[in-house]
Amino acid sequence: MEKLGGTVQSDGGMKKGKPWQRLLLAVVIIVVVALIANQLGLFDLLKGGSLKERVERLDGMFQSLGVWAPAVFILIWILACTLLLPGLPVTIAGALVFGAVWGSVYTAIGANIGACAAFLVGRYAARSMVEGWIEKNKSLKKIDEGVRQQGWRMLMITRFVPLFPFSLQNYVYGLTNIPFRTYALVTIPTILPGTIAFNFAAGSAREVILSGGQPEALKRTVLYLAVAAVFFVLVSLIAGRAKKRYGAFGGRTGPNQGERKGS
C-alpha cells in the first residue's frame, strides 16, 4: 500500500466494497430521506400558490416545531453534508424561515457540524469509497497535494475559493493528513463570511416577500443587502489574496513550497 499525504491508498491489499453495493446503499439512503420528507409534507410546501404563500408555508412548518425548529434545521444541514447534497438551498431556506441573523447562526452551526461529520465518515466509515473518488479524479488529488505542501492553508483556500463543492471537500479532507482538530478550527471561521453573505442576501428577500412593502421592512432590506455586499466583497478579497499567495491549488507559488505540514 502507498501512503499519500496521510491517505492510505491500496494496491489491492485493502479490500474495497463493490461499486454496485455502494451505489445501492446511497440510493437506499436517498429514497428513505425522500420518503421521510414526503411524509412530513416538505414537497407540498413547494406546490402551488405564490412565492409569498410558499414562504409562509415553509415558515409555518418550522413554527409548528416550536423550540425544536433550530435543532431540526441543524439536523437537515448535517444530512445535507453527509449525503453530498448542495448546501445553498438549505442556507436560503434557513434565511427565509429564521431571518438573516438567526439564519446565519443556525447555518453556521449546522454547516460546521455537518462538515465535521462528513470528515469523520470519510476518514473512518467510507474511506475506501472516497479513495476511489480520488483515484479517478485528478483534481481531487490536488487537495491532498495542497495539504502536504501548505497544511491547513489548503483548507482555507478551498473554503474561500470555490474549487470543489463544499460537501465533497469534507469527505476528501478526511483522507488527508490534516488533524481533525485543525480541520474543525479552520472550518469555523472560513465558512462564516460566506454564510453571513448568503443569509443576509436571502434574509433581505424574506423582508420583501413577507412585508408587503412596509417602510420598516424596506429599511431592513436595504441594511441586509448592504451587509451581504460587504461580506461578498470580503470573501472575494480573501480568495484573491489566498490564490495569489499560495497558488490555485496550494503552495505552487507560495512560500514554504514543498514543506509538509499537518497542523
Rounded alpha-carbon distances, angstroms, from residue 193 to 138, 218, 244: 29, 24, 19
| Predicted local distance difference test score (pLDDT) of residue 44 | 56
Angle at 115 between CA 184 and CA 200, to 5 degrees: 100
CA–CA dist 35, 52 (Å, integer): 26
| Predicted local distance difference test score (pLDDT) of residue 248 | 52
Strand, coil or helix: what is 205?
helix
Domain ranges (residues) in the chain = 2-148+165-191
CA–CA dist 170, 127 (Å, integer): 12
CA–CA dist 114, 82 (Å, integer): 7
Q: Which residue has the higher pLDDT, 87 or 256?
A: 87
Is residue 25's pLDDT more than 90?
no
What single DSSP character describes residue 49? S
Is residue 57's pLDDT more than 90?
no
- Which residue's entry shows cell 412530513? 40
| The one-letter amino acid at 42 | L
Asked if residue 170 lies in contact with residue 85, where contact means CB atoms within 8 angstroms, the answer is no
Average pLDDT, the chain: 75
DSSP-assigned beta bridge partners for residue 153: none
DSSP-assigned beta bridge partners for residue 4: 7
Angle at 110 between CA 19 and CA 235, to 5 degrees: 95
Is residue 10's pLDDT more than 60?
no
> What's the rounded mean pLDDT across residues 65-69?
89
Q: Which residue has the higher pLDDT, 133 or 11?
A: 133
Residue 33: band (very low, low, confident or very high) from pLDDT cuts 50, 70, 90: low
Cβ atoms < 10 Å from Cβ of 158:
24
Residue 70: band (very low, low, confident or very high) from pLDDT cuts 50, 70, 90: very high
| Predicted local distance difference test score (pLDDT) of residue 114 | 94
Is residue 3's pLDDT more than 50?
no
Q: Which residue has the higher pLDDT, 148 or 199?
A: 199
**What does the pLDDT look like over 71-82, one tens digit per residue?**
999 999 998 888
- The verdict on pTM exceeding 0.75 is no
| Predicted local distance difference test score (pLDDT) of residue 4 | 43
Is residue 171's pLDDT more than 80?
yes
For the ranges 27-31, 177-181, 243-247, the maximum mean pLDDT occurs at 177-181
Name the helix (H) or strand (E) containing 8.
Answer: strand 7-9
Q: Which residue has the higher pLDDT, 188 or 16?
A: 188
For the ranges 63-67, 124-128, 134-138, 145-149, the maximum mean pLDDT occurs at 63-67
| Predicted local distance difference test score (pLDDT) of residue 152 | 84
Q: In the chain, how long is the greatest CA-to-CA distance?
A: 68
For the ranges 4-8, 91-95, 101-105, 255-259, the maximum mean pLDDT occurs at 101-105
**What does the pLDDT look like over 152-163, one tens digit per residue?**
888 888 888 766
Helices first, then strands: H and E counts in the chain: 10, 2
